[in-house]
Amino acid sequence: MADLSFFTASASLALADIAALAKAELVDPARAGERISGVAGLVEAGPRDLIFFDNVKYGDQLPGTRAGACLVTERLQGSLPPHVAVLRCRDPYRAFVAVARQLFPSSLRPQAGFDSEGIAPGAIVHASARLEAGVSVDPGAVIGPGAEIGAGTRIGSGAVIGPKVRIGRDCSIGQGASVICTLIGNRVTVHPGCRIGQDGFGYLMGANGHLKVPQIGRVIIQDDVEIGANTCIDRGAIRDTVIGEGTKIDNLVQIGHNVVIGRHCVIVAFSGLSGSSTLEDGVVLGARVGLNNHITIGEGAQIAATSNVHGDVPAGARWGGSPAKPIKQWFREVVVLERLGKETQRENGAKAGRKEKDEG
């Protein structure tokens, strides 16, 4: 099978250009004109590829690398084979990302599922919908009455944009996503399969049945938000569900009604945010974190993966565990429990030995 790549570099870069872009020092200036056209891992790299090296754990892979150049710290540069051009910098991975973004800008936004501009055959756009020039709508997408979509936005195949929804400019709505009762800012990416703006889960429970509570709020998504595949964001019951500017949400996250998420938060896969919870700016939730309803996670706080949070978390704190608590306290408790378990095991073993001796 032919070697197939879904992303092609926009142009090659000279090592001198890479050094300037990455704020790195090219140790051998004589190689400034050599060109790089790709990025790769240590093992897969070829002579025109750039790699980075910042972890001695992978040092055994270095002697066999065929890479043309490597971003590396001064401490580790001596580990590189002589044929690899050395680009010395303080943070190799951050520098590597900067170069990769320059080489492969098309990877930063979901690719079009159907190579066309404008409204493709098979798309359904209501007569009252307003689309600015430069909007692309792929086959099978549905744009509802009164919807407004800004220039440069692409609506993927099978996506449904509900009545009166507003979507800003340079956004991407992935294949099969549904967006209703929602206002979206500029440069927002919604990956395939997302469900945004559907009913929040609200019922008055009773012995004779559960009475549905009207969900009449909206979802507000501010600029530069990215929402991973198959994530669900419920609209508010009375107040709006809000996703703050620059926040990044992974795949398969559930965000309940009335949740307010601040700016530049990070929420990792399988996390669940119960209704009316609040994340202040810069909060990070690890994978599989669960938040109880009506709690606040303070600005800059970090919650460890698989934690369950039942109360407010102070700003800047690091919590973990189930129920979650300050992470140092959690670690101490884990150590104590492990020690108690070992002591109990030894005591049980000693008792069993004495019993065998007595019976013998």
Please report, rounded to a whole number, the percentage of residues in the chain having pLDDT higher than 90.
86
- Is residue 71 a part of any domain in this protein? yes
- Average pLDDT score over residue span 341-347: 81
Number of other residues whose CB lies within 10 A of the CB of residue 48: 17
**Which two structure tokens, joined as six digits, stand for 149?**
């979509």
Within a domain: 93: yes
Asked if residues 225 and 249 have their Cβ atoms less than 8 Å apart, the reply is yes
Q: Could you tell me if residue 97 is inside a domain?
A: yes
CATH of residue 46:
3.40.1390.10
3-state SS, one letter per residue, for 126-171? CCCCEECCCCEECCCCEECCCCEECCCCEECCCCEECCCCEECCCC
Mean pLDDT of the chain: 94
Residues annotated as part of the active site: 257
Residue 238 placed within a domain: no
Residue 152: the pLDDT is 96
Q: What is the pTM of this model?
A: 0.90
> What residue numbers bound the domain in which 102 lies?
13-108
Residue 53 lies in a domain: yes
What's the pLDDT band for 113 if we cut at 50, 70, 90?
confident
Quick count: other Cβ atoms within 10 Å of Cβ 275? 20
For residue 1, pLDDT beyond 70: no
Spatial separation of the C-alpha atoms in residues 175 and 168, rounded to whole Å: 18
Is 273 part of a structural domain of the chain? Answer: no
289-301 confidence digits (pLDDT tens): 999 999 999 999 9
The span from the CA of 285 to the CA of 319, in Å, is: 10
| CA dist., res. 30 & res. 69, Å (int) | 13
* Domain contains 151: no
Whether 149 is in a domain gets the answer no
Q: Which residues pair with 69 in a beta bridge?
A: 50, 85
Number of domains in the chain: 1
